[in-house]
Structure 1
Amino acid sequence: MLDFISKGGPILWVIMGLSVVALAIVIERLLYLRRISIDEEKLFLRIKTSLMEGHFSEALAICDQNISPFSTLFKVGIENRKQPEYLQRELLKDAASLESVNLERGLTTLGTISNISTLLGLLGTVTGTMRAFGVLGKFGAVSDPAALASGVAEALITTVGGLVVAIPVIMIYNYFVSRVNLIMTRLETQVNNLVSFISSYGGKEPDSAEEKPSKEA
């Protein structure tokens, strides 16, 4: 295996280094998406029930118990329930932008690696071919088959290496992008539901009114 890698030359080592970085990003993103996975419909129903009963502290506690972009934005909405609706939407929009940064973290690097790996494979093809033709130009004939084969091997191995890294990385990158887009779409839907609900129920309590006691109290 090491002999095969060494025949690929220094460019193949760079490609392998990029594959390690890509693997680390993929593992981190999978763990992150698993950690924030949540049934947002059920979460919104629990929060909605607490708000309808006037248990605002309980609704905030529910948000704190769940680590996800949905709970983060729900909390922002609840904390600013007395603000005008246009201001609520602006605050939620800002919070959603921050969450999108977390959701997209590492994806730019992943996309770059998929492109660079292909280009590095092509570069290896060129340098390997140049080495092979250099042997032919120097001796005028194939007097050193090993040297010629070394250049051809470098060209082929780096091409394969670049494609082996680029193809799965592109597929995984597209998967992550589709997941992020889906989460952001669902997030926008639930945020609109929350703002509409707060406008109807959650923001109507008088400033001086005492919060209703929670059932758990």
Structure 2
Amino acid sequence: MDKMAIVKSVIGDFFNEFGTSQPGFIFMWIIVVVAALALAVLAERVYVVVIRSKINVSRFMTELIKLIRAKDFDKAIALCDSAPEGALSRMAKAGLREVDRGVRQVQYAMDEACLSIIPEIEKRTPYLFVFSNVATLSGLMGTIFGLMFTFKAIAVLPVAQQSQALASGISAAMNTTIFGLIVAIPIVLAYQWILSQSKQVIDDLDEQSVRLINTIREL
């Protein structure tokens, strides 16, 4: 048997492990469910953090500060309304609506807005880390179960049936482990990426809030 035939056989055994007649099937399907849940959370986080909350900070702030310095606050608020779901535009709008009440009130308004914006950016992201651990641990459980199956087969089955049972047990141990890692590794990478995107949005809020306050104070 050549190498490609062996590879095809390994892949075939991997997919066969999803069958209900295989000892590790329950762990394979647990990992599938974990992968589906992680994908759903990732899609929601990408929409909220990357698509909805992020805006072109440089262009937005350049236009906004120009309007603030011209004391055209109505147009400044309208500019914020042009990106109604952006984290920075929501914070800026909250502050601009209080500009007539002084710089301190503007600061309070933006801080209050951030108290609702930042949790929206951060929530559910930790679930990805949890799912990566669950996928890995489910694979480990499958490994342990496969070894238990193998040892039990040696103990109770006649010699003629042991080779097939041993192959099934070892296959379950290996396939559940690798599937758990196949699912967990991309989830960890996605988790770190979403964390970095969230941090960038929050850092923009911190930096630009100071910039807005300083601009308003100069009026």
Provide the TM-score with structure 1 as the length reference. Answer: 0.84
Match of 2:43 in 1: 27
Match of 2:34 in 1: 18
1:110-130 superposed Cα distances (whole Å, 9 cap, x missing partner) = 111011111111111111111
SS in 2 for 1:42: helix
- Equivalent residue pairs, number: 201
Match of 1:165 in 2: 183
RMSD of aligned alpha carbons:
2.0
2:45 is matched by which residue type in structure 1? Answer: R
1:23 is matched by which residue type in structure 2? Answer: L
Paired with 1:195 and 1:60, the residues of 2 have a C-alpha distance of 15
1:94 aligns with 2:112: yes
1:149-204 superposed Cα distances (whole Å, 9 cap, x missing partner) = 22211111110111001011101100110111122112211011001111222xxx
Task: List alignment gaps of at least 5 residues for structure 2.
Answer: 1-11
Provide the TM-score with structure 2 as the length reference. Answer: 0.83
1:55 is matched by which residue type in structure 2? Answer: D
SS in 1 for 2:149: helix
1:70 aligns with 2:88: yes
Paired with 2:34 and 2:57, the residues of 1 have a C-alpha distance of 36
Task: List alignment gaps of at least 5 residues for structure 1.
Answer: 202-217
1:199 aligns with 2:206: no
Identity of aligned residues (%): 26
Task: Flag the 1:142–1:175 CA change in 2: closer, same or farther, 3 A.
Answer: farther
In the TM superposition, 1:1-217 aligns within 5 A as: 3-6=16-19, 7=22, 8-32=24-48, 33-66=50-83, 67-139=85-157, 141=159, 143-201=161-219
Paired with 1:104 and 1:142, the residues of 2 have a C-alpha distance of 57
SS in 1 for 2:18: helix
